[in-house]
Structure 1
Amino acid sequence: MPVTTGDRAVLDAARAVLLRDPRASMSAVAREARMGVGGLYRRYANKQELFRAVCDDNLRRYIALGEAALSDGEDPWAALGEFLGHVVDDGVHQLTPCLAGTVVVDDDLAALGEQANAVTDRILRAARGSGMMRPDVSRADLTLLVEQIGSLDLGSPERTAALRRRYLSLILDGLRAGAASRRLPGPPPEDDELSARWVI
């Protein structure tokens, strides 16, 4: 369902507030959105409903970034780098630690999560198939890597964004096939380990 202009303002405000304080109140979101608390409650009956909408929007943003990277016609390794760069810049993975364990995952959210996984798998398969990417990195590895990059915050938005890109560049070098001479210790995270974070 398309997001209205009013809902977009609320969802963007909720994202900003959640990234500052995962336990933020509805009144904090209303202040950020420059609206009354009553107006916010007319749109979203409670905090769970609002956070569920933020989660839905976040997954759709992620899927759109993946689809854009796949449709650009770039070589698969460049598509992977472009995708991860946009994910880091957009901040979609920063919200995962904020929302995990607070939102009830219904069938619709679960379906969006599967779509997000499928898009990532397509990007990964292409990058591996190009011979440029080491074969022992999983989708779950990428998820946690971009979450770690997203957790970097030095106060200044410009400096933080530059450092996130710096560390993404270092990580991309580590994902290259040439870096695979050293075997990664231990197995990658299981999908069940990541999804367990969403259990309330």
Structure 2
Amino acid sequence: MPPLNADRAVLIAAREVLLKDPRATMAAVAEEAGMGVAGLYRRYANKQALLRAVAADNYRRFIAFAEAALSDTDDPWHAFTGFLSQVLDDGLPRLTLALRGEVVLDQGLHDLDRLAVHTTNRLLRAARGSGILRADVTRADITVLLEQIARLDVGDDVRSAGLRRRYLALVCDGLRAEAASRRLPGPPPHEGELIGRWTGDPSSA
């Protein structure tokens, strides 16, 4: 396996550090990345710039998983549930929760958010079109479900990951069209509530 380039190594280190402590210092990230603080500041002018880079990487990974699922046309249900498993196993919802209220969205992140929304909606349309996904499930529902499962932490990484997969499997059974004996009560979260994942303000527009 070729060695990681410095920027990739920094992003991986930052993910690990920020998942444990979103308010960790640049020095803590530099130490995890095995580099000097000055070297980190040469790449990122301040912590907010680093947080935005980590958030952007989180979005890009999410979009890549969704696009890969869209390319799997043989088994739409396997593609859809596989996408959910990849997103959860990769820690993307956990990082979103960790960064809540810490990162200030810039235009680049707003653009990535729109692309993530568009790609996920395409995946949901494909799953609905195949007749396997219940018709009243929205992208917002999926987002909230993944974040709720991602919160599960029993203090052991391996055990926590196993429990998250267990509850994702239970949730996926409830997402099947054949499980929809009645419509879901109430509306799904609105966009302001979803943006609030980042800002910490559920009234955000």
Give the TM-score normalised by the residue count of structure 2: 0.91
Cα deviation for residue 169 of structure 1 reads 0.3
C-alpha distance in 1 between matches for 2:27 and 2:118: 36
1:193 match: 193
Counterpart amino acid of residue 83 in structure 1:
F
Q: Which amino acid aligns with 2:59?
A: L
Q: How many residues align?
A: 197
| TM-aligned CA deviation for residue 166 of structure 1 | 0.6
Q: CA RMSD in A?
A: 1.5
Give structure 1 regions of 4+ aligned residues with deviation exceeding 6 angstroms: none
2:100–2:198 contact (8 Å) kept in structure 1? yes
Q: What is aligned with 1:14?
A: 14
Equivalent position of 2:52 in the other structure: 52
Which letter maps to 1:125?
R
The aligned residue for residue 42 of structure 1 is 42
Shift of 1:196: 3.3
- Residues 64-109 of structure 1 show CA distances to partners (whole Å, capped at 9, x for unaligned) of 1111111123322211101001001111111112223222222221
Opposite residue 92 of structure 1, the aligned amino acid is L
Q: Report deviation, 1:117.
A: 0.7
State the SS of the aligned residue for 1:135: coil
Contact (CA 8 Å) 2:96, 2:197: kept in 1 or not? Answer: no
SS at match of 1:181: coil
Aligned counterpart, 1:154: 154
For 2:190 and 2:116, the matched residues in 1 are separated by 16
Deviation at 1:182, TM superposition (A): 3.3
How do 1:77-116 and structure 2 match up within 5 A? 77-116=77-116
Give me the identity figure in percent: 62
Q: Letter of the 1:130 partner, please give it.
A: S
Superposition TM-score, scaled by structure 1 size: 0.93
Unaligned runs of 5+ in 1: none
Instruction: Report whether the alignment pairs 1:163 with 2:148.
Output: no
Q: What does the per-residue CA deviation read over 1:29-60, in whole Å, with 9 as the maximum and x for residues that have no partner?
A: 11211222121111111100000000111111
Change (3 A) 1:159 1:189: same
- SS at the partner of 2:84? helix
**1:164 Cα deviation (Å)?**
1.1
Deviations 1:119-162 (A, max 9, x none): 11011001111111111111011001111111112222221111
- Larger mean Cα displacement after TM superposition, 78-87 or 104-113: 104-113
CA distance in 2, matches of 1:20, 1:53: 18
In structure 2, give the amino acid aligned to 1:122. R
Return closer, same or farther for 1:146/1:113 CA change in 2, 3 Å cut-off: same
Aligned equivalents of 2:197, 2:60: Cα separation in 1:
20
Q: Bigger CA drift: 128-137 or 176-185?
A: 176-185
Return the alpha-carbon distance in structure 2 between the equivalents of residues 118 and 44 of structure 1.
Answer: 29
For 2:137, the equivalent position in structure 1 comes to 137
Aligned residue in 1 for 2:28: 28
